[in-house]
Amino acid sequence: PDGTPKPALYTCKYVYQPIEFAMVDSDALRISLKNRNFHQSTADYTYSWEIKDESKVLQKGVFTVPVLAPGESEEVVIPAKKIAYKAGVAYMLNVYAHQAKDLPYAAAGHVNSSEQFVLSELPAAPVKVSGKAPVVSESDSEVSVKAGKVTVTIDKTSGYLAGYHDGMHQLIKAPFAPNFWRAELDNDWRGWKAGIYLKDWKTAQDNLASTTAQISYMVEGSTAVVTVLRDIHSGKATLTLSYTVYPDGKLNVSYDLQIAETTLEPLRVGLQGQIAGVQNVTYFGRGPQENYSDRHDGVFLGTWTSTVEDMMTQYVFPQENGNRTAVRWIKLADAKGRGVLVKGEQPLSVSVWNTTQQQLHDSKHIGEPQVLKDAVVLNVDLVQAGVGGTDTWSQYARPYDQYRLLQKHYAYSFTLQPLK
């Protein structure tokens, strides 16, 4: 492999597709189409559409477009019925251009062009918090918060989320620790040498492991809040983690990273932990294939179901893989549907592995990374740097600036709750 993950194939198809779609008026569902062919009209194309929410297709049909000569454009209105958009639900319009006749390389109906437009994604109304306040207790090694049957545990040395017990099962196998690195891509280590230039972030985990967190907690109304402050490499960055536990056992994790002006950028901003006893994955985000900040053109939002193994991409040379962008929520469950739901307060960057990041980094051949027997690795990130790849052997392998993590402040939050 040359450091360019599979999404490049889908991105290439999208970039070269013969029909360009654009939204003109989302209320009226008026779109424009442009024939990008140089020498061929659209006489042999047919067109279809569908409107979806997070769980199903709400409406679908076909539409007609006058035959377009090379370079010509036309506007049309999608013949859909009006939809009352609900808060907290995403609605998407997908449009497709199909080949009308069999071709040597594709059967009639083959999608040669497609586009997705998000029609509405109104934020959900705030939920009023009520109920018995969680109970906080402290030992020499941990801070525990009990809300109903759920117990949340914070390690006092690290400040990391070390336990989330739903009353019957311990859902967390290994603590959710800050993660600023990745199992380096070919572009990273062969090309722009990220491990050399950004070594402060590569060693941040070791630095955090050798220092102690500052922890405080309080019960405020019907919620309990545990706040953790971590210093990274003596002031090169500071990280604040806040854990808010609600009466029903729902847990909100808030993450705030402040990077010093003289510190270079990380490769990812997020948390990594292990979830116990799950095999199945369902998520709403871009998919179903892996995608990255600079490799998601033509990869649509949808609800996708997979296994942990199929969420990964097995590169010949093991490296970072399986990322999904624009993830609103993800469920990890066992065969009986028990597990955990993670829901972002904003879109997340997420991946699930059956092995560790260290194994992906250390292994040299496909099949070498050791498979975890009773847990999976879950990366819940705000963002990861793009994969780059203008070339694979110089600084040009680095992602373009808009896909690097050059800001000095990153903040995000998500909630966890048990699946029954």
pLDDT tens profile 67-111: 999 999 999 999 999 999 999 999 999 999 999 999 998 999 999
- CB-CB contact of 294 with 390 (8 Å): no
Identity of residue 284: F
pLDDT at position 85 is: 95
Please tell me the distance from the alpha carbon of residue 323 to that of residue 320, in angstroms, as a whole number: 8
pLDDT at position 130 is: 86
Residue with tokens 């003289």: 262
SS3 (DSSP) at 8 = helix
Q: Is 1's pLDDT higher than 90?
A: no
How many angstroms separate the Cα of 355 from the Cα of each of 219, 334, 342? 37, 17, 20
Mean pLDDT of the chain: 95
Q: Which tokens in the block code for residue 228?
A: 């953790």
Residue 7: pLDDT band with limits 50, 70, 90: low
Q: Which tokens in the block code for residue 310?
A: 């199929």
- CB-CB contact of 362 with 392 (8 Å): no
pLDDT at position 8 is: 67
Burial 235-255 (b: 16+ CB within 10 A, else e): ebbebbbebbbbbbbbbbbbb
Please tell me the distance from the alpha carbon of residue 72 to that of residue 68, in angstroms, as a whole number: 5
Please tell me the distance from the alpha carbon of residue 344 to that of residue 337, in angstroms, as a whole number: 20
Q: Is 4's pLDDT higher than 60?
A: no
Cβ–Cβ contacts within 10 Å for residue 379, how many?
24
Side-chain-side CA neighbours of residue 228 (13 Å): 28
Identity of residue 179: N
pLDDT at position 290 is: 95
Q: Are strands 339-353 and 409-419 parallel, antiparallel or unpaired?
A: antiparallel
SS3 (DSSP) at 396 = helix
Q: Residue range 302-317: average pLDDT?
A: 95
Q: Residue range 393-404: average pLDDT?
A: 96
- The secondary structure of 146-190 as a DSSP string is EETTEEEEEETTT--EEEEE-SS-B-EEEEEEEE---S--HIIII
Identity of residue 371: V
Residue 249: pLDDT band with limits 50, 70, 90: very high
Question: Considering only CA atoms, which of 278, 306, 275 is closest in space to residue 290?
Answer: 306
pLDDT at position 9 is: 77
pLDDT at position 2 is: 41
pLDDT more than 90, % of the chain? 94
Please tell me the distance from the alpha carbon of residue 136 to that of residue 153, in angstroms, as a whole number: 10
Residue 34: pLDDT band with limits 50, 70, 90: very high
The number of residues in the chain equals: 420
pLDDT digits (tens, 9 = 90+) for 148-203: 999 999 999 999 999 999 999 999 999 999 999 999 999 999 999 999 999 999 99
Q: Is 3's pLDDT higher than 50?
A: no
Please tell me the distance from the alpha carbon of residue 258 to that of residue 187, in angstroms, as a whole number: 27
- Tell me which H or E stretch contains 116: strand 111-121
pLDDT at position 6 is: 54
Please tell me the distance from the alpha carbon of residue 280 to that of residue 375, in angstroms, as a whole number: 12
- CB-CB contact of 403 with 293 (8 Å): yes
For residues 305, 306, 307 and 310, what is the CA-based torsion angle, rounded to 10 degrees?
-170
Please tell me the distance from the alpha carbon of residue 354 to that of residue 348, in angstroms, as a whole number: 20
